[in-house]
Structure 1
Amino acid sequence: MKRILIAIDYHPTSEQVAETGYNLAKKLKAKVCLLHVMAQTRYYGMEYPSFLGYEGYNFPVNMQMDSEIQKVAEDYLQKAAAHLDNKVETKLKKGETATAVLKYADEWKADLIVMGTHSHSFLEKLLMGTEATTVLEKTEVPVLMVPVKK
């Protein structure tokens, strides 16, 4: 495995996912790319504690300003990459998460996708599915799922 794509969302549990994927990549001497998909803009205004070296913003984000949200997401990715290693690549995509992860894994020629699985209730999984499930069902690339709890 030479290329490991680590998909992170805008939530503190991403630190566990990123560090797990990065530590595996170091052992394999693999190239790493952190991928973040802007799918649900409401998360960028959340006040989370510091994670992945990212302090966040202490002011509310105007959800109608796409360019401002993109700046927040780019800043988040840069801080997350610096938290791991300055050699880590980053990529920001927009759209539906599972589709964007699958498409970029193919474009970047990833040998492994690393992503987290949030614990959802049985009913939520049954009615809505999860992004992780969609990636697993449609990928041609091995996937490492890191179990995380909100």
Structure 2
Amino acid sequence: MKRILVPIDFSDVTSPVIDLARQLARAFDADIHLVHVRELTAAATPGTLGYGLAGMPELAPMAGVPVTGFEPMQPIPESEDDKSKLARWQKEIAQDGITITLHEPTGAVAEEILNQADVISADLIVMGTHGHGAMYNLLVGSATKGGLMHSSRPVLLVPVPRAYA
């Protein structure tokens, strides 16, 4: 095992996922490839689902209805806190003597995770069992479920820590 793909989303399970991936990388002298998928607004506009065109601006262009301030299919902006977490994790992993590469594709989460796994020829995918809340997963889908159902590579799941479950 030489390449471990680690999808991250800044949820409560991200730190335990990274910790386990670091342990595995040290044990098997493997590289870590962190993947943070930048979701598109059409897939993840907060507070818009379930209210007709007024609540689903991503459908408005199809109906010819202009929606002020909404640009469909744009990446959701990253917060400064998220950017600093990514930099910190990269630095900590590198300090362990592990080769670390960050990938930040834009698109549908499960699809991009599987795509990156193919691009790097991942030997293992280490990911959390939960990211977004239950309502998001019900309406949009779970990257974990998508990754498991369509991956031809081994997937190791890390559960949410008890303190957050």
Q: TM-score, normalised by structure 2?
A: 0.64
Amino acid at match of 2:90: A
Structure 2: runs of 5+ lacking an equivalent: 47-70
Residues 1:80 and 2:89 aligned together:
yes
Selected match of 2:78 from 58, 69, 78:
69
Quote the Cα distance in structure 2 between the aligned partners of 1:126 and 1:10.
19
Quote the Cα distance in structure 2 between the aligned partners of 1:41 and 1:74.
20
Selected match of 1:133 from 130, 145, 152:
145
Report the equivalent of 2:127. Answer: 115
| 1:127 Cα deviation from its structure 2 partner | 6.6
Report the equivalent of 1:36. Answer: 36
| 1:11 Cα deviation from its structure 2 partner | 2.2
| 1:125 Cα deviation from its structure 2 partner | 6.3
1:61-112: CA deviation from partner (whole Å, max 9, x where unpaired): xxx8959538765543222111222531111111111000000000011110
Distance 1:69-1:109 versus aligned 2 partners, 3 A rule: same
Higher relative contact order (CA 8 A, sep 6+): 2
Bigger fraction of residues in strand: 1
Distance 1:96-1:19 versus aligned 2 partners, 3 A rule: same
**Which secondary structure state, in structure 1, belongs to the residue aligned with residue 152 of structure 2?**
coil
The percent of aligned pairs where both chains have the same amino acid is 31
**Which secondary structure state, in structure 2, belongs to the residue aligned with residue 76 of structure 1?**
helix
**Which secondary structure state, in structure 2, belongs to the residue aligned with residue 38 of structure 1?**
coil
Q: 1:46-57, aligned counterparts within 5 Å?
A: none
What is the number of equivalent residue pairs in this alignment?
129
| 1:128 Cα deviation from its structure 2 partner | 5.7
Report the equivalent of 1:4. Answer: 4
Indicate the structure (1 or 2) with the bigger Cα radius of gyration. 2
**Which secondary structure state, in structure 1, belongs to the residue aligned with residue 11 of structure 2?**
coil
Report the equivalent of 1:95. Answer: 107
**Which secondary structure state, in structure 1, belongs to the residue aligned with residue 126 of structure 2?**
strand
Q: TM-score, normalised by structure 1?
A: 0.70
